[in-house]
Structure 1
Amino acid sequence: MDGLTYDEVGATAGEMPPGYHHVRARRVIGHGRVDFARAADALLAGEAQRRAGARVESSQTPMRVGTRVTMRLGLGRLAFRIPCLVVWAERGDTVAGFAYGTLPGHPERGEERFTLTLHPSGDVVFEIAAFSAPGRWFTRVGAPLGRAVQAWMTRRYLRALDAH
C-alpha cells in the first residue's frame, strides 16, 4: 500500500516477521452479542485509542481499508504525531477489527492489529497483535523506553473497551 514504512503488510494476521519486536495480548472484555456489538462500534470509531489517552483524527468512521489515522500522544511540543493507514478492517457477526500500518513521520515502523471475537462460549475477546521496530533516530536511541510505552499502551487499549 502506498506510503507505508514497512513491507510486511498483513503479517499481524499470522506469523509475524523476524527482525521486529512482537506483541500479542488478549483480554475477555464482555459477554454476549450486545457487548460484542458495543465494543465493535467503539473499536471501529477509534475509541480504544482515545480511551487509552491518544488524541485521534481519522479520515473516516467507521474505520475501513484506506482510512488515515493520526494520533497524538504527549503534551504541547512534546506530543508525538503518529500517522497510520488502515490496511485491514472487518465487521462481521463474530469478528470485528482493523489493522493499521505506519506512515512516514511515525516514531516506529510496523503494524498493529485490533481484533474482537465473539466466541461460541459468549466471551468477547479483544486481541492485539503488533510488530514494530524503531523508525526515527530518537526511537532507535530510546528503544527500551519505546517498548515500555508500547506495553503500557497495549494494556490501556485492552482495558479501554472493557464492559466490566
Structure 2
Amino acid sequence: MSFTYEAVGATRDDLAACPPGFHSLHVRTRLGEGEAVFHRAAEAVLTWELHRAMGVGINASADRAAKDVDVTVTLAGLIKAPCRIVWATEEPRRAGWAYGTLTGHPECGEEAFVVDRTGDGTVWLTVAAFSRPAKWYAKAGGAATRGLQHAYARRCGTILRRLCAPQDES
C-alpha cells in the first residue's frame, strides 16, 4: 500500500508542520518530571502500550515503533486505519514516532507521538498531526471529526500521565 499524502515525514523536524489543505493538531501534555518518568513514557509510546491502554486496537508488524513498521489501528472495533511508521527516534531526551496514512485509512495525513524531557527535567507528550478526510464518513463528520481528534490527543496525555505515575506498593 502507498501513502495517501505527499509530505511524508514532515513532522520529524517540525511537529507544527501542516501542508496546505490539511488541518493541524498540536496537543502538549505535561507528564511529570525526571529521567524515570521520561523512560517510562518513552517505553509506553514506543511499544504501543499507550495506544492499547486507550482501548485502541493495534496490529503492528513489529513489537516496537521503527521506520517502515506497518500498523493497523482499529477504532471502536469497526474502523480499520492502515498506517506506516515514517520516522522513529529514541534519544536521551526525545523519543517517539509518526505514522502516515495508507490507502484505506479514513483520513489522509500524518500523526506524531513524541515524549521529550526539557532542560529543567519536565517530561511532555506532544501529539501532533496534519490531516484531512479521505472517506465519506470522515468528510461527513466535519468539525465533529476534528473535535474527536483533539479529544483523542488530550486523552493520550491523560492516559500516559497515569501510566507514568508512581505505583502504590501497599
CA offsets per residue over residues 30-79 of structure 1, 9 Å max, x none?
2111111111111001122212221111110211001111111114xxx1
Whether the 8 Å CA contact 1:51–1:157 is kept in 2: the answer is: no
Q: Give the superposed CA RMSD.
A: 1.3
Residue correspondences, number: 160
Residue from 43, 50, 55 that aligns with 2:52 = 50
Could you say what secondary structure the match of 2:39 adopts? helix
TM-score, normalised relative to structure 1:
0.92
Deviation (angstroms), 1:125: 0.9
Q: Which runs of 5+ in 1 are unaligned?
A: none
For 1:83 and 1:160, the matched residues in 2 are separated by: 23
**Aligned counterpart, 2:9:** 10
Q: Counterparts in 2 of 1:14-25, with a 5 A limit?
A: 14=14, 15-25=17-27
For 2:158 and 2:60, the matched residues in 1 are separated by: 22
For 2:76 and 2:134, the matched residues in 1 are separated by: 18
For 1:137 and 1:28, the matched residues in 2 are separated by: 35
What residue identity is the alignment partner of 2:68? G
For 2:105 and 2:142, the matched residues in 1 are separated by: 14
For 2:131 and 2:50, the matched residues in 1 are separated by: 19
**Aligned counterpart, 1:27:** 29
Q: Which runs of 5+ in 2 are unaligned?
A: 166-170
What residue identity is the alignment partner of 1:123? T
Deviation (angstroms), 1:143: 1.9
CA offsets per residue over residues 97-128 of structure 1, 9 Å max, x none?
00000011111000001111111111111111
Q: Which moved more, 1:83-92 or 1:150-159?
A: 150-159
**Aligned counterpart, 1:130:** 129
Whether the 8 Å CA contact 1:84–1:106 is kept in 2: the answer is: yes
For 1:108 and 1:151, the matched residues in 2 are separated by: 14
Deviation (angstroms), 1:157: 1.1
**Aligned counterpart, 2:168:** none
What residue identity is the alignment partner of 1:74? A
Could you say what secondary structure the match of 1:7 adopts? coil
Q: Counterparts in 2 of 1:1-164, with a 5 A limit?
A: 3-12=2-11, 13-14=13-14, 15-75=17-77, 79-162=78-161, 163-164=164-165
What residue identity is the alignment partner of 1:121? D
For 2:59 and 2:158, the matched residues in 1 are separated by: 21
Q: Which moved more, 1:49-58 or 1:63-72?
A: 49-58
CA offsets per residue over residues 67-94 of structure 1, 9 Å max, x none?
111111114xxx1001110001011111
